[in-house]
Amino acid sequence: MDLSKLLVPEAVKVFGQTPAKKRLFQELGELAYQAYGLSSAYVFDGLQERESLGPTGVGNGIALPHARLEGIERIFGVFIRLERPLDYESVDRQPVDLIFGLFAPKDSGVDHLKALALVSRTMRDANVCAKLRANADAGKLHAILTEARTPQAAA
């Protein structure tokens, strides 16, 4: 599995800022609708439900909101880079500017976890994050994400 299978170019956006996490989830839902035809309200509800279990801000300015959704056939990703970081209630209490959303079928089981691990490894790479923060072009951001080479976890 690699990110080029999870993330299409149309699913990558740059926003100047967003006022709150709730609004960010709405933006992620809109992006999922534009790129994959997923219901933006359904994606929003799934993200809100998952976030109620605990924050998905993993530290270092990165958030990995995700949800398992009924009615989708495969795992999809969306990515937003914020020009002005957002208070996200992250584990390190730092605002986030790099947000990778992941949506998986409700019964995806281990595939969802593998995809989440792949995204997590990619976003933990300091060089990848530096390149993402240095670019404001969605096409370049997509290329950086999909060309990133991360060590594979043991099978």
Active-site amino acid positions: 66
Strands 76-86 and 12-15: parallel
Helix (H, G, I), strand (E, B) or coil at 80: strand
Dist. CA 142–CA 136, nearest whole Å = 11
Strand residue runs (E) in the chain: 12-15, 57-59, 62-63, 66-69, 76-86, 96-105
- Are the beta carbons of 62 and 133 closer than 8 angstroms? no
